[in-house]
Amino acid sequence: MFKAAKAGPRKAITANRLSDGLVVFLSEAGEWSLSVGDAALFADGPELEKALAFGKEQHEARIILDPYAIDMEVVGDTARPTRLRERIRAIGPTIAYGDAERAKLSDVGG
Amino acid sequence: MYRYDEFDRDFVNQRIAQFRGQVERRLAGELTEDQFKPLRLMNGVYLQLHAYMLRIAVPYGTLNPGQMRMLAHIGRKYDRGYGHFTTRQNLQFNWPALKDVPDILGDLASVEMHAIQTSGNCIRNVTADHFAGAARDEVADPRPYAEILRQWSSLHPEFIFLPRKFKIAVSGAEHDRAATQVHDIGLHLKRGPDGNLGFAVYVGGGLGRTPFIGHKIRDFLPEEDLLSYCEAILRVYNQFGRRDNKYKARIKILVHETGAEELKRQVEEEWERIRCGALALPEGEIVRIREYFAPPALAARPAESASLAGARAADATLDRWVTQNVAPHRTDGYCLVTISLKPIGGTPGDATSDQMDLVAELAERYSQGEIRVSHEQNLILPHVALDDLPALFAILRDNGLGTPNAGLVSDIIACPGLDYCALANARSIPVAQRISDRFGDLQRQKDIGDLKIKISGCINACGHHHVGHIGILGVEKKGEEFYQITLGGSADENPSIGEIVGPGFSYDEVVDAVETVVDTYLNHRQGADEDFLAAYRRLGKEPFREALYGSA
C-alpha cells in the first residue's frame, strides 16, 4: 500500500490505538502494528504525505488517535525512533514493573 | 471511616451508566476524540504515553481492606498486576483498555470508590495527613473536615469549570505531614484561645512551573465556618482567576498578582455575605461526620512492650526497621507503621496486586482494618500493637515491603516521568532507582539521616521537586535528558522553595551530583543532629555549588 524509502532521513507514522490506547505504527501494508519493527519508513515527500493523510482518515474512522510522523534512525539492520520519548513509546517503559520488578528486586534481596 | 450515603451511591452508579454509554459511542465511532476527551477526563481517564491511564480517588488517603483488595483485583484483571500510588494519595493504573473502564468503575463503586474529579478544572480529591486519627502529636483528626469538604466539593455546580484545577489539604497536627502550605487551600486544624477547634487558612500555595508558599489569610477560622469560608475563596478565584492563560490560571497567580491582603479583603467581603447562610456547619453535623471516623476500640496495653524490646535486641534488622518506620501512636502500646513502597532500586509508589492483597490482610490482622496512603507514596498501618511488630515486619520483609527507609535518602518521591507520562521531558523513575541503589547501604542512609529527595520529570512538578531537600527536575536539552538540582526546599510547617544550585547534569552525571551534595552536607554538618535541611539553611548554597562546579 505504501512504498517505503530505503535510504536517507526517514520517518514513521505512529499513533495510539483507540480501543486500548496502545502505541501503534503504520506498516507498508497500511495496517497498525504494535511493533516498531513493522513500521514503514518514509522519506519526506509525497509518500509521507499520503501516509499522514491515511493516518488522519484512520483517526476520523475512530481506529487510532492522533497520528503523527516521527524521525527514525537506522542502527545496523534495525530502525528505531530518534528521540528518546519516541523510543520509550516504541519499546515501553525503560524500567521493569509489576511482578517482573518484584522478581528482579527479590533476586538482589530487595 | 466514611460510608457512601444513598445520594453518593445513586449518583456514582448513574455516572458509570452514563460513561458506559459514552465509551460505547466512542468505540462505535459516534463520538470524536475532541468530543470524548472532556468526558473521559471527568471520569479520571487520561491518555498517556503507552496507553490510557485511570486515576482513582482515595479520599484523604484512607482505604479499608475491601477497597485495597478491589484495587488489587482491578490491577490483576484489567491491568498488568500493579498500581502506582501518587503524590496526591491516589492510585493510578497505567494500562487499562478503554473498553474495560466502565466495568472497572463498576467494580470500584461496589467498594464505594470512584474516579470523579481526579482530573479537570474542578476541586480535586481532598488530601490529609496520612497519620490522621492516630498520631500522638495530633490536635484533632483532620479527616472529618476533609470529608465535609469532599461532600461540599463533589459536583458543586458552581465549581465544575474553575479557571484551573484546585487542591485542598488538611492537617491536624503541629507537624505538617500533608504539605498544606503548597496547596491552593491549606487548612491547619488547631485549637483557639477558648479551646474550640478551628483552622489556620493558607491560600495560594502551589508547585508546578511557578512555585509559591501559601499566604495565611486567617489565623483562626471557627470550624462552623469551614465551608462558607472555602466557598468565599472559591468564588473570588472563580470570578477573578485568569482564564486567558492556562499557565497563569491557578489561584497562586491570582494571589500573587492581587496581593494576599487584597485577596483576603475580597474573600472576607464575600464571606460576610454568605457565612450565616446554608453553609454554616451545624455542630450536630460535624459530630455526625466525626462518628464515621471514630477511633477503633484498642485494648489497653502497657506503654512499653517487653517482647518487642527482646526481639529488637536479638534482631538488628528488626531494630533498624522499628527505629525508622514506626511512629508514636496516641494510645499507649500502639504505633503507626510506614510500609515502604521504596525498595532499594525499585519504582517509588508502585505496589503489585499481590502486595496490595497482603497489605489488606495485614491491616485486618494487625491494624483494625485501616490503611492509609501517604503523599510520599508509602502505605501506613495506623493502629498496630507494639507486641505485633516483629511478626508484622517478618511478613513485610518477605514480600518486598520491609525496607527500613522511611524519611531517608532512598525514600524518594518520583513522578512517573517519561517512562509513562505524555507530558514528561525526562525520566524520573530510573533516576530515583539509581540514587536508591547508590545509597543502598542502610547504615549509610541512617548516618546521612533525614533527607527528602523529590524528582519531577517536567516543570509541572508532580514529583514535588521544589520542596525536596534535594529537588531534581528533568528537562530536555538538545534531545538529551538533563536534570536541574534545587536545594533547601521543604513542605512541612516551615516550608521553603528550593533554590537552583547551578547548571543541570546529564542523565549519567546526576547521581554523582546528588552524592556530591550529600557528601558536602556530611562534611559541613555540625553533628549528626543537624539534618540536611538545617545544615543547608545555615550554610546556604555556596559550599554545595562549589563542590558541584568548583570555585568561580
Considering only B43-47, B122-126, B202-206, B548-552, which range has the smallest mean pLDDT? B548-552
Give pLDDT tens digits for B190-211.
999 999 999 999 999 999 999 9
Give pLDDT tens digits for B461-509.
999 999 999 999 999 998 899 999 999 999 999 999 999 999 999 999 9
The answer to whether the CB atoms of A102 and B400 lie below 8 A apart is yes
Which of A21, A59, A94 shows the shortest C-beta gap to B51? A21
Give pLDDT tens digits for B72-117.
999 999 999 999 999 999 999 999 999 999 999 999 999 999 999 9
Q: If pLDDT is split at 50, 70 and 90, which confidence band does B552 have? A: low
B-chain CB neighbours of A89 within 8 Å are 49-50
Give pLDDT tens digits for B365-382.
999 999 999 999 999 999
Which of A61, A89, A110 shows the shortest C-beta gap to B343? A110
Which of A83, A97, A106 shows the shortest C-beta gap to B350? A97
Which of B29, B352, B418 shows the shortest C-beta gap to A61? B29
Question: What does the pLDDT read at residue B2?
Answer: 55
Give pLDDT tens digits for B243-297.
999 999 999 999 999 999 999 999 999 999 999 999 999 999 999 999 999 999 9
User: In whole angstroms, what is the distance from residue B512 CA to residue B518 CA?
Assistant: 10
DSSP string computed for B379-396: EEEEEEEGGGHHHHHHHH
Provide CB contacts within 8 A for B27, sequence distance 6+. A18, A19, A62, B98, B99
Give the E-state strand segments of B375-436 in sequence order.
379-385, 413-414
Rounded to an integer, the average pLDDT of B519-524 is 98
B-chain CB neighbours of A62 within 8 Å are 26-29, 32
Question: What does the pLDDT read at residue A110?
Answer: 46
DSSP summary character for residue A20: T
Q: How many CA atoms lie within 13 A of B328 on its CB side?
A: 7
Rounded to an integer, the average pLDDT of B231-252 is 97
Assign 3-class secondary structure to B258-289: HCHHHHHHHHHHHHHHHCCCCCCCCHHHHHHH
User: In whole angstroms, what is the distance from residue B56 CA to residue B180 CA?
Assistant: 21
Which of A16, A108, A110 shows the shortest C-beta gap to B47? A16
- What ipTM was predicted for this assembly? 0.93
What proportion of chain B, given as a percentage, has pLDDT over 70?
99
Q: How far is B202 from chain A (nearest CA, A)?
A: 38
- At residue A1, does pLDDT exceed 90? no
Q: How far is A52 from chain B (nearest CA, A)?
A: 18
Q: Are A86 and A14 within 8 A, CB to CB? A: yes
Number of A/B CB contacts below 8 angstroms equals 99
Which of B346, B427, B430 shows the shortest C-beta gap to A110? B346
The answer to whether the CB atoms of B429 and A93 lie below 8 A apart is yes
**What residue type is B541 in one-letter code?**
K
The answer to whether the CB atoms of B420 and A18 lie below 8 A apart is no
pTM: 0.96
Search chain A and give the residue with CA nearest B418.
A85
The answer to whether the CB atoms of B479 and A62 lie below 8 A apart is no
Give pLDDT tens digits for A38-66.
999 999 999 999 999 999 999 999 999 99
Q: Are B83 and B104 within 8 A, CB to CB? A: no
User: In whole angstroms, what is the distance from residue B76 CA to residue B353 CA?
Assistant: 6
Give pLDDT tens digits for A61-103.
999 999 999 999 988 888 999 999 999 999 999 999 999 999 9
Cα separation of the two ends of chain B: 57
Q: How far is A19 from chain B (nearest CA, A)?
A: 6
Rounded to an integer, the average pLDDT of A23-46 is 95
The answer to whether the CB atoms of A65 and B481 lie below 8 A apart is no
Q: Are B501 and B487 within 8 A, CB to CB? A: yes
Which of A23, A84, A101 shows the shortest C-beta gap to B346? A101
Provide CB contacts within 8 A for B367, sequence distance 6+. B337, B381, B382, B383, B384
Q: Are B517 and B549 within 8 A, CB to CB? A: no
Q: Are B342 and B433 within 8 A, CB to CB? A: no
Rounded to an integer, the average pLDDT of B125-137 is 97
Interface-testing mutation among A65, A102, A106, A107, with chain B (most B C-beta atoms within 10 A): A102
User: In whole angstroms, what is the distance from residue B129 CA to residue B27 CA?
Assistant: 41
What proportion of chain B, given as a percentage, has pLDDT over 90?
97
Mean model confidence pLDDT for chain B: 96
B-chain CB neighbours of A92 within 8 Å are 50
> Angle at Cα B412 formed by Cα B456 and Cα B534, nearest 5°?
100
The answer to whether the CB atoms of B419 and A101 lie below 8 A apart is no
Chain A residues with CB within 8 Å of chain B CB? 16, 18-23, 59-62, 65-66, 82-85, 88-89, 92-95, 97-99, 101-102, 105-106, 108, 110
- At residue B235, does pLDDT exceed 60? yes
Interface-testing mutation among A101, A104, A108, with chain B (most B C-beta atoms within 10 A): A101
